Amino acid sequence: MRLDKYLKVSRLIKRRTVANEACDAGRVTINGKVARASQPVKEGDRITILFGTKEVSVEVLKVEESVRKEDTGEMYRVI
């Protein structure tokens, strides 16, 4: 699954276009490397997102195309 879609489906970022813009600005990394929006995400990856001065790091536990709102917490673990 593409990184921008994963960020939206997991609800780490509200909209896919915003996720795309964050990736283009270099504010999203996968396993310590700056990631593009089209980069594939797989289980075990560590994603770090910079929101202004706040940094959020998560580990990918599951990759699913669609998830109910209540089940998004099972897709990642905050580090």
Determine the Cα–Cα distance for residues 39 and 1; give it in Å rounded to an integer.
8
Helices (H), 1-79: 3-9, 16-24
What's the order of all strands across the beta sheet hosting 54-60?
A: 33-34, 28-30, 46-51, 54-60, 76-78
Residue 11: CATH number of its domain: 3.10.290.10
Q: How many domains does the chain have?
A: 1
Q: How confident is the model at residue 28 (pLDDT cuts 50, 70, 90)?
A: very high
- The average pLDDT across 39-45 equals 96
Residue 19: domain span: 3-78
**pLDDT confidence of residue 72:** 87
Would the pTM of this model clear 0.85, i.e. be above it? yes
CB neighbourhood size of 28 (10 A): 24
